[in-house]
Amino acid sequence: MKTALITGATSGIGKATAYKFATEGIRLILCGRRKERLEELKNELGKKTDVHIESFDIRDRKKVMEILTNLPEEFSEIDILINNAGNAHGLEPIHEADIDDFEAMLDINVKGLLYVSKAIMPGMVSKKSGHIINIGSTAGKGVYPNGNVYCASKFAVDAISKAMRIDLNKYGIRVGEVNPGFVETEFSVVRFKGDVEKAKKVYEGFQALKPEDLADILYFIVSRPAHVNIADVLVLPTAQASNYILNRKT
């Protein structure tokens, strides 16, 4: 049985992936900030597979290293790392934006991803086996108006993924990234700081991707034979042609 660690597992793509992996018999380490949600997932998914939960903020470097380098023995050998935790805060031009929003996006999307990877990668290197998938975004492939720092953070994920693949190549470790376009999750509620009505308008007039769509893709990637590495996937809803072109029906 393979063991997968998923960050940002309490909602959206991370949660859907946890369900998909559990159904396919993958042992799970689920990480997130919301402990109650993690406990609910453990109670439900524990009926399908072995589940271990850890509640922490990936921005906390010391906590990340302390927890992830001291996992229970039965969960200590990680085969799959899904670096899913990420966020967007605000949608303003740089000169009008809140600097705290800059900090949050860079700390979570870039530094947090690096902290988690730094904690997990030595074990994969030691056994010369493993699979890392970083969740990027179309925002990491092209900049859009007012996306500035969020786009920069996802461009960084793209660069880190490519660099990881080079660094880890000699150890037989697979590294890939999945870059979704519009996915209907709590993402926009966070971006607009709890304004649910504003968030709903982001997805009006077209069929956005669902978290389950990405979960299916992630399982497909990790279930390929060891000699196959799906390195870079761009996933769009049919209505989306680019960051600029979206076919809304309203």
Question: What residue ranges do the domains of the chain occupy?
Answer: 3-235
**Which pLDDT tens digit goes with each residue over 73-99?**
999 999 999 999 999 999 999 999 999
List the beta bridge partners of residue 177.
134, 232
What whole-number distance in Å separates Cα of residue 127 and Cα of residue 32?
27
Put simply, whether the predicted model's pTM sits higher than 0.75 gets the answer yes
**What does the pLDDT look like over 3-35, one tens digit per residue?**
999 999 999 999 999 999 999 999 999 999 999
CATH architecture of 3-235: 3-Layer(aba) Sandwich (3.40)
Catalytic residue among 150, 171, 203, 244: 150
Strands (E), the chain: 3-6, 27-32, 51-55, 80-83, 131-135, 174-180, 232-235
171 part of the active site: no
CA 41 to chain centre: 17
With 70 as the cut, is the pLDDT of residue 137 above it?
A: yes
Lowest mean pLDDT among 44-58, 62-76, 134-148, 187-201: 187-201
CA distance 211 to 200: 16
Instruction: Give dist(CA 81, CA 132) in Å, integer.
Output: 5
